[in-house]
A = this chain, B = another copy of it.
């Protein structure tokens, strides 16, 4: 029988609103198992394992742990660092990581993140087997990009979708009321190569003629003439236009519109940091249509707006955190990512799993059958998919008119 050991949890990639809800789920569930001695946290994902920055989550008070449920940002710190090549294990990064895992007697690792992070989790799980180190690794999905395979949707997506849709509804009313002076708004959403988030803005529409009128997804290469014709037609029919676009829009040659490719603006995973697609379209419209346009870039507010998060999303994030622990401790699983499996009537999700290898570094594109014929909107089927994910409101504690959030004390663990 497996010896008693510690569990380690890490948050990787960029955080989304409910990431700490999953962290809370892991911590709470881990308390129930005698086989788990301490619950530790790795600061900044894999970085904590490489740099020996491990904190003891058992030293935090109950109120702080409770507060995690409704706190945005990654409480343990996120990261863009990924683990380099897994073989041979003697490779410096992996060796360093296992030195730290051994030092703290870590037997269970819960790794929260997106497709890049699942690659890191996979490598750790693979290497553990190779060096015969008893480590169970479970990945927990987290990304508002909603682009992970094997799961109906990803925690973080429902909250981001809800916030974006509410913002588009509100900014849409604003824009409509200013059609005679400032007729066009372009709202740019997060999402590197997939259009799940801009697509969700369609939830805001209150009728055919209201915002958003046009939605452009990274999956559909932008034809400039078609785009300008779309905008002009909408302006003529409606009086103005509310356009939503993903940040990673490409032209017909597959080049990012306005991507910056200098070294400074590449993130740690080597992806170019995207920016400027809003300004690009703004200029295109102003020059060609002689119409005034403005850009809204909610950027990381989409990833952190706990004040208008989805209760459904929050609950699912907690559930996945808890069930990840069950998968390792009760079912003895490793090398898996827990997933959400949708059931209908009424909507609810059961927890399933997928092997990490199948998720690592892969992207689930927005399905083409959910894109309309004009390639500038989404279909009612997609709306049926996304609607349940934004249901329910999260009531954040308010003090002095503002949400109050919690921070971990980050007390270094003793080996």
Partner-B contacts on A (CB < 8 A)? 11, 14-15, 44, 47, 71-81, 162, 165-167, 169-182, 185, 203-204, 262, 264-265, 267-268, 273, 275-276, 279, 282, 286, 290-292, 294-301, 303-308, 310, 387, 390-393, 398, 400-403, 405
Assess the A304–B171 pair: CB atoms within 8 A.
yes
Q: How far is the CB of A32 from chain B (nearest CB, A)?
A: 27
Complex CA distance for A272 and B149, rounded to whole angstroms: 47
Assess the A294–B300 pair: CB atoms within 8 A.
yes
Q: Which of the listed residues A181, A264, A306 has the most CB atoms from chain B within 10 Å of its own CB?
A: A181
Q: How far is the CB of A315 from chain B (nearest CB, A)?
A: 13
Work out how many copies of this chain go into the complex.
2
Assess the B299–A295 pair: CB atoms within 8 A.
yes
Complex CA distance for A76 and B180, rounded to whole angstroms: 12
Assess the B304–A47 pair: CB atoms within 8 A.
no
Given contacts A264-B290, A308-B307, contact A390 B405 (CB under 8 A): no
Assess the B292–A169 pair: CB atoms within 8 A.
no
Assess the A165–B402 pair: CB atoms within 8 A.
yes
Given contacts A71-B173, A178-B74, A264-B292, contact A162 B402 (CB under 8 A): yes
Complex CA distance for A273 and B178, rounded to whole angstroms: 14
Assess the A391–B401 pair: CB atoms within 8 A.
yes
Assess the A401–B296 pair: CB atoms within 8 A.
no
Complex CA distance for A14 and B276, rounded to whole angstroms: 25
Which residues from chain B contact A304 at a C-beta distance below 8 Å?
170-171, 173-174
Assess the B296–A299 pair: CB atoms within 8 A.
yes
Q: Which of the listed residues A14, A267, A304 has the most CB atoms from chain B within 10 Å of its own CB?
A: A304
Which residues from chain B contact A171 at a C-beta distance below 8 Å?
299-301, 304
